[in-house]
Amino acid sequence: MLQKKFGRFYGYDKLDSTLIKADTTLGIRNKEQTIKKKVKEVLVNSGFSEIYTYGFVSEKDLELSNIDSKIKKYAITLRNPLSDEYKLMRPSTIPSMLQTLAINANKKNQNVKLFDLSRNYKNIQQEVEKGEVPLQEDILTIGMYGDDTDFYTLKGVLENTLEAININHYDIEKEAQNSSYHPGRCANIKVGMDTIATLGEANPEVLDNYMISKRAYLAEINLTKLVKYAKSNKKYVEVPKFPAVERDIAIIVDEKVEVGQIEKLIMKKAKKLLESMKLFDIYRSEKLGTNKKSVAYSLIFRDKNKTLSDEEVNSLMEAIINELEKTLNASLRK
């Protein structure tokens, strides 16, 4: 302000005009911003609509959503809330998504696909009142219901999202402790021992609480952790010189056997010759036996240095089948 006053008194017309001496920089997105942009593009291209939700919830919201007591204890209570509906800083984004799904269901919207990129807030050390900053994590929350929507639809969306940000090595494990989800239709996605996402069908009790009559599917993806594991540069490989060999395999296993267990054994025996593996059918019938299911895969084998012979592929398939029979008590479906 003083410079302007001096300039007026002295006279702007007496000042020499000079170019600004400064380095110009090109504005670019950082890694976190780039990942968020890619994630949004994948979801929008998959037919999802973005929503914005409040960062505040009530104690009732946490109860209706069956939020675990371990998470509820991290909720931060506001000293002067706008109302009881916004009394807590949310420790989970699930209640906000369920509220929005409930509004859409009440308005008779038949097919709904939504995502919300926001934060949760956790008082981990219970010292926020003493001035400690709460743990704040960026969470991508997905909610959907309607025709042609099931667990595997949601799983495919998450797999496409992870592929877009170059996270290719992860495990999918069954989750039975999260009471917001259906106890038999929920899974965690892990990188090593770190859980980066939870997905599954919403618990029927929770849907009843929100008066949602259709099956709904939810996912929570920790974007703060995704940034840590995502790779900025996409790795390209040369066009294969030698042809691939495709084989299908269908095995009968106990209902309790998880798909992830089967896939790990197949990769273990096939090693580097397995180019890709795709689950294309899960079949259940009384003809298979009590508590039995059939799981079918399409396997593609390729050697980078030569053309695989039928004998080599047959030997691989035999080794895979023997390992599945030995470890999982599986039988080949004929």
Taking only the tens place, the pLDDT of each residue in 83-135 is: 888 888 999 999 999 999 999 999 999 999 999 999 999 888 887 777 788 88
Closest CA to 136 of 178, 91, 96, 94: 91
Domain check: are 39 and 64 in the same one?
yes
Domain check: are 215 and 325 in the same one?
no
Domain boundary (229, 257, 276) is at 229
Rg of the chain taking only CA atoms, in angstroms: 27
Domain check: are 160 and 256 in the same one?
no
Instruction: Examine residue 294 and state whether it is found in any structural domain, yes or no.
Output: yes
Query: Domain range for residue 57?
Result: 31-229
Q: Model confidence at 170, in pLDDT bands (50, 70, 90)?
A: confident
> What is the Cα–Cα distance from 157 to 318, expressed in whole angstroms?
33
Domain check: are 197 and 257 in the same one?
no
Instruction: Examine residue 185 and state whether it is found in any structural domain, yes or no.
Output: yes
Taking only the tens place, the pLDDT of each residue in 140-152 is: 999 999 988 999 8
Domain check: are 322 and 292 in the same one?
yes
* CATH code of residue 184: 3.30.930.10
At 236, list the tokens: 């390209």
Domain check: are 211 and 293 in the same one?
no
> Which residues touch 45 (CB under 8 Å, ≥6 apart)?
none
Segment 192-206 shows an average pLDDT of 93
The helix/strand/coil state of 115 is strand
Quick one: what percent of the chain has pLDDT higher than 70? 99
Domain check: are 68 and 179 in the same one?
yes
Instruction: Examine residue 39 and state whether it is found in any structural domain, yes or no.
Output: yes
Instruction: Examine residue 4 and state whether it is found in any structural domain, yes or no.
Output: no
Residue 15 DSSP class = S
Segment 208-233 shows an average pLDDT of 91
The helix/strand/coil state of 196 is strand
At 172, list the tokens: 């999918």
Domain check: are 224 and 252 in the same one?
no
Domain check: are 260 and 216 in the same one?
no
Domain boundary (229, 254, 281) is at 229
* CATH code of residue 288: 3.30.70.380
Write down the pLDDT at residue 270: 87
Domain boundary (170, 195, 229) is at 229
**Cβ atoms of residues 269 and 323 within 8 Å:** yes
pTM of the model: 0.78
Instruction: Examine residue 238 and state whether it is found in any structural domain, yes or no.
Output: no
Write down the pLDDT at residue 1: 62
In the chain, the number of structural domains is 2
Instruction: Examine residue 301 and state whether it is found in any structural domain, yes or no.
Output: yes
Taking only the tens place, the pLDDT of each residue in 230-263 is: 887 777 778 888 899 999 999 999 988 888 888 8
Instruction: Examine residue 20 and state whether it is found in any structural domain, yes or no.
Output: no
Domain check: are 84 and 184 in the same one?
yes
Instruction: Examine residue 25 and state whether it is found in any structural domain, yes or no.
Output: no
**Cβ atoms of residues 37 and 58 within 8 Å:** no
Residue type, 29: R
Write down the pLDDT at residue 196: 94
Domain check: are 198 and 92 in the same one?
yes
Helices (H) and strands (E) in the chain, counts: 10, 14
Handedness of CA 114, 232, 266, 239 (dihedral sign): positive
Domain check: are 99 and 210 in the same one?
yes
Q: Does the pLDDT value for residue 167 go beyond 70?
A: yes
Over the chain, what is the mean pLDDT?
Answer: 89
> Which residues touch 217 (CB under 8 Å, ≥6 apart)?
142, 143, 144, 145, 149, 150, 151, 153, 154, 199, 200, 201, 202
Closest CA to 144 of 184, 116, 183, 163: 116
